[in-house]
Every structure is written in structure tokens, then in C-alpha cells.
Structure 1
Amino acid sequence: MQSQPSQIHLTFSLNVEILSRLAQWRIDSLTPNLCWKSNNFKMGVWTWRLQIKKCGPLHVWLFKEHSDHPSEQVPTVAFVLRVLHGPGLRQVVQSQAVNDKTFLTNEYHAWSVETAIHGKFVVEVEFIDMKCGSQAGDPFYFTLGKSIQPAAHQAALSCLSYMLDSGVHTDVTITTPSGSIGAHLAILATRSRVFQVMFSHDLRERKTFTIEMEDMSLESLKALLAYLYGSINRPAFHKHRMALLAASDKYDIEDLKQACEESLMEDINSDNVLERLHNAWMFHLPNLKKDCMRYLFEFGKIHDIRANFDQFLHSTDKELLIEMFQEGLNAVHF
């Protein structure tokens, strides 16, 4: 049976730091028998709050806060709670994973930590998945208050999508090792400066009206074209985002590169952070690099990646390793 959170709390709240799917609340010391509450923080499109009380065991509550937005949907989430404590905050107590927990307004999840916690510690919640109600959805992609696209805009996108899917008046062929597809030179040239240059100078592509993409699969190419034509969906984007990132860099498609960076920042975890950091360095993605560094050092996850670190040391750029070393020296942990 879950314990009820006390209504007694201090008159101030404490900041929660968030990064990707991770939220951390750092506590210097805790007065016994008094409830402390954190400030509100955003995860997905919802507002959350942590609350703790040390009365024998440490009790931790995760709340979904009330929203005044009439269209906000009820979230169903999966998450784990952790307490990091001890020297260097390297001792971890973790709750069982909570799956498909539906949070109504002001509803909460309670966790009792049986391990003795002394001194400074961190309360951490990692959101594994989020969706609206019982409807399956991509995590962290929900946005409130978006205006409906004007009818003319929707019609134009539908026409572009139809042109691509049906091959209406295609005038250029793009080939990959696994197949080829027709496209429209005017659209490619307006979406990519590299494509524009190809057909503005006396190059092979202009003579043959063929673009060879030997480093891309046909499925990834379809996702790239769907993005350029404005018809890509989120599952396809998510599945092919690494190939799309490489293509955005090669063909100078800045908006696609930014979209890939923002997507990769949304689900950083201990299994992929080193790969993300390497890609951030290779493709010059400063925001992704910053978040990966924060995840490793400010959020203390450098201790979770030992198994993959040796391979990373031998495969990544020395300048990046130097930057990581400097970041580690600058990291401040209480």
C-alpha cells in the first residue's frame, strides 16, 4: 500500500535539473519528519514535482501537477526512481520500473527507500516512455497549443507528397546500392545548396540527371525525400535519423540537421551517450555535445559507461577526449 504524502512542507522549493529524460534533485541535508518539495519541472508536455520526507525510511513521491490548459491529455508513463548517495554519489538505490502508470491531475507515485541515507544525496527520476492516455505514441513528442495548418498549406503538402509517391513528372533519378527512386530537381535544388550546385555547373549529375548515393540505403533515401517534400512521419524520422543526420551534413540541409540534433537530445541514456557524443563531435552539433557532457559529468553518469569506454577511447578524436577530461575536472559534485 502506498504511503500518503504529508501536507506539511517547507516554505521554499528546491530546483530540479533536467536533461533529456532525466530529472535530478540534489539535497544537501534533510530535516527529519518534515516534507520537502521540489520546484515544478517540465518533462514531455506535462508538469511534475518531487516530494520527500525522511521518517525512518526515506519516502519519495512523484506528482503530476495540475494544468490550466483545457486540452491537456492524461499521461501514461513508464519510469524508475533512484537515490544516489555516498562518496561521490556512486551508491545507487533504484526502485522497480513502473510501467504504464496513468497520472490524473495531482495523482502521485510513492516509493519508500529502505536503505539508510545519510548526508548529501540525489533523488533521480528517469522517464522511460510517455504517451497520452492509452494511445500509443512516441515519447516526448507531444506539443500543446499548435495551430492547425491552413487548408492551403495542407493541400500543398498533399500535392508534394503525391508527386513523390506517384512519380508525377520526375526529372532526376537518385540511385542507392539497394535501388533507385525518381525525384524533382526543382524541389531538391531549393531544399539543398549542394543539390543546387550539382545542377548549376557542368557536372556529371547535370549531364545524366542522376544522383548517386552509395552511402545510403533506399529506405533511408525515401525518408530523406519524405522530409524534403514535407511528408515524413515521426516513426520514419526516428528510425532513420542517423542516416538523415549524415545526409543533412553532406548535402547542407541545415533545418534537417537541427531536427536530428533535437531528436537525439530527447533520449540520451547510458547505453547511447558515448555514440551520441561522438556523432555530436563529428557533425558539429554543439547542443547535443553539451547535453552529453552534462549527462556524463554534471549528472554523474560517467560511472555507468565503463564497459563501453575502452572502445570509445580507441575510436574517437583525441581533441574530444581532451575536452571530456577538462569537463570532468570542471564538474562540481557535492
Structure 2
Amino acid sequence: MTDSGYQVKTTSRLAQWSIDNLLPSTYRKSDPFMIGNWNWYLSVEKKRTIFIKLYPETSNLTKDSPPIASFIIRIISFAGDRRSLAHPEVTDRKLKNIGDFVWVIELPLTSKFIIDLEFLDLKISSPVSNENEPFSIWADGLRQKQSNKFALTSLGRMLSENIQSDVEIRVSNGILQAHRAVLASRSPFFNKLFLKEINQSSTINIPNVSIESFRVFLNYIYGNIQSDQEFKTNRLSLLAAAQMFEVEDLKDACHESLMEDIDANNVLERLENASLYGLSELKCSCLQYLVKFGKIFDIRDEFNDFLQSGNRELIMEIFDSVLVAWNGF
């Protein structure tokens, strides 16, 4: 067996380990793979039954604050037709030692199969906090911190309380108050717009943007996003605003966030947005999820609809990726 036979492919929250010809009385342990804050291992042992284990690498972090994992794990077998066998969804399982998660499989697996592992969440308990409630490492206010890095907390009050506002923004279905200096400093679009003005106007018309989308955009540039969930809920409209108003840090934050939770329900929409806004890493991750990790087989109905209405060039990219994957299989 070559070294590549121990390598685990990963993207976002998904990991896959390909196993060839698992003989009786065989034990294999994967190479370490990083998801979240931890290096992980998968192991498979074949006796009369098959034992699959998932556990984190031994470290000070694992010892002091072991991961609390929610995940889906399944076997994809290539014996005859492609078949899958899924373990019941695991929720909030503390994984510290090698035996904390063991999946016993009674069915024989003789030919090539893939261990498919998708993390739904990873939580950790703070070793320095008196609170025992664990928190998700993927919902830790990161976007809010990124937003606040570029705008002082006091700017939020300026926006919400209309303190010394000096410009009125008329959008498609309403009016919002803002500050020329803040808009110009955070957005090259507005800076160029204001520089072109001969006489400073107190009103700016942006007819192709809704008041809901522009309000969320203002909240971001003023450092007034209240939670990570608020950011995630509005990240597609924020992405559109970032593109229109040339706010690169917002576009980068949306790009990074959209890569974190790709799944079967959103991968096609993410792929279209990646193509529309030129997000190359997101596009690559979506194509890997669909093709390299074989998830295209799990969304056949949705993909057939996509073939009817999707962007032709994007569809060709997907088929090119399929052909490359098949040639390398």
C-alpha cells in the first residue's frame, strides 16, 4: 500500500479516506488531517467485523479542551453499484481518547470503499471561563471581530442614533441616513462619487438596492453587526453590496464564511455565486465537494434542475471536472 493510501482528503468540514482491499486481520490508521482546531485520525480494523474509529491527535489542547463533535459518517462502497451505509447522526460527542467513537460494521467490505466524514459542528469548552457551556468554534463572533477591526464601536451609535448624519441615501424602497466621511473612508465607490460632486448634495440615489440590503451593509461598515448569525444570514446580500461598493474586506469575509459550511443543500447556489462574483477558492471548494468527494450523486434531482437553468459555462466546468476525476480514478 502506498503512502497515498493513508492520506485523507479534506475540504471545508468534509473528510474522505479511500480504502483499497481491506484484508482480514488488518489494521490501518490514516495520516493526520486538520479540521477545525485539531488534527484528526481515522482508523479501520477488520476482524470478524469491521471497527472504524475517529479521534483527535493527543495534544495539550485535546487534553484541556477536547472537541465536542457533531458529525455524519458513512461508508461508500464500490462493490457493484455505488452503495452507501450511514451511521446515525452523532451529536455533541466529546472526543478525547481513541475509543470515544467506534463504529462496528457487521457487513463485509471486500473491495474499494470510502469513509466519508462530514462535521456538522465542533464545540469547545473554555479552560479559562467559569461558564461550562461549550461554544462552537465556527460561530465565535469571528465576523463581528473582523467588522469591528475596521470601525470603532462608537460608529455603531452614530448610525443607529443618526448622530450628526450629513447624507441621505435613497434606495429602491426607503431612505437611510449616513455620514459622508464614513462612507468615503470605507468604500472607494462612495469616495469617487463624492469627489465628482461639484456641489455637495445631501441626497444620494441608489435605486437598484433594497433598504434591507443597504441597512445590513451600513451595519457592517459602521461595525454594527450584532452577531455572527446576523452576518451569516445576510452574507449573500452583503457579498452583492461588497462587489457594488468595492469594499474588499467585506467581500473577503463573505468569501471565507461561504466556504465554511458548504453542504448538499447549498453547494449549487454557492457555485453560482462563486462564478458570479469571481470567488475562485469558493468555486474550487464547491467543485471538489461535488466531483472529488462524489456528492453530485446525492443531489441528482437538484443537479438535473441546475442543468436546465444554470450558466452554460459553469455547467461545462463541472463536466470538465468530472472528466478529470474519472481519468484519475
TM-score for the superposition, normalised by structure 1: 0.84
| Aligned counterparts of 2:138 and 2:8: Cα–Cα separation in 1 | 18
Question: Which of 124, 133, 136 is residue 135 of structure 1 equivalent to?
Answer: 133
| Aligned counterparts of 1:225 and 1:48: Cα–Cα separation in 2 | 40
**1:139-187 Cα distance to aligned partner (Å, 9 max, x none):** 535699xxx99xxx98972222222232211112234455433221111
Secondary structure of the 2:115 match is strand
Q: CA RMSD in A?
A: 3.1
Question: Which of 305, 308, 314 is residue 308 of structure 2 equivalent to?
Answer: 314
Q: How does 1:1-334 map to 2 (within 5 A)?
A: 14-69=6-61, 73-86=65-78, 90-104=82-96, 108-133=100-125, 135=133, 137-138=135-136, 140-141=138-139, 157-177=152-172, 179-202=174-197, 206-212=200-206, 214-218=208-212, 220-232=213-225, 233-332=227-326, 334=329
Contact 1:64/1:107 (CA < 8 Å) preserved in 2?
A: no
| Aligned counterparts of 1:228 and 1:268: Cα–Cα separation in 2 | 26
Flag the 1:231–1:208 CA change in 2: closer, same or farther, 3 A.
closer
| Aligned counterparts of 1:177 and 1:139: Cα–Cα separation in 2 | 38
Q: Which runs of 5+ in 2 are unaligned?
A: 126-131
| Aligned counterparts of 1:92 and 1:193: Cα–Cα separation in 2 | 51
Read off the aligned partner of 1:169 and give its amino acid letter.
Answer: Q
Contact 2:124/2:136 (CA < 8 Å) preserved in 1?
A: no
Contact 1:174/1:183 (CA < 8 Å) preserved in 2?
A: yes
TM-score for the superposition, normalised by structure 2: 0.86
Q: Which has the higher helix share?
A: 2
Flag the 1:212–1:93 CA change in 2: closer, same or farther, 3 A.
same
Read off the aligned partner of 1:140 and give its amino acid letter.
Answer: W
Read off the aligned partner of 2:45 and give its amino acid letter.
Answer: K
Structure 1 window deviating more from structure 2 (302-311 vs 106-115): it is: 106-115
Flag the 1:217–1:154 CA change in 2: closer, same or farther, 3 A.
closer
Secondary structure of the 1:199 match is helix
Residue 13 of structure 1: how far off its partner (Å): 8.1
Contact 1:67/1:105 (CA < 8 Å) preserved in 2?
A: no
Flag the 1:89–1:68 CA change in 2: closer, same or farther, 3 A.
farther
Aligned residues between the structures: 317
Structure 1 window deviating more from structure 2 (135-144 vs 77-86): it is: 135-144
Among the aligned pairs, what percent are the same residue? 36
Contact 2:9/2:15 (CA < 8 Å) preserved in 1?
A: yes
Structure 1 window deviating more from structure 2 (78-87 vs 100-109): it is: 100-109
Structure 1 window deviating more from structure 2 (160-169 vs 127-136): it is: 127-136
Flag the 1:102–1:331 CA change in 2: closer, same or farther, 3 A.
same
Q: Which runs of 5+ in 1 are unaligned?
A: 1-10
Structure 1 window deviating more from structure 2 (302-311 vs 176-185): it is: 176-185
| Aligned counterparts of 2:150 and 2:32: Cα–Cα separation in 1 | 41
Flag the 1:82–1:156 CA change in 2: closer, same or farther, 3 A.
closer
Flag the 1:270–1:241 CA change in 2: closer, same or farther, 3 A.
same
| Aligned counterparts of 2:30 and 2:140: Cα–Cα separation in 1 | 24
Flag the 1:323–1:121 CA change in 2: closer, same or farther, 3 A.
same
Flag the 1:296–1:70 CA change in 2: closer, same or farther, 3 A.
closer
Secondary structure of the 1:108 match is coil
| Aligned counterparts of 1:87 and 1:81: Cα–Cα separation in 2 | 19
Residue 109 of structure 1: how far off its partner (Å): 0.6
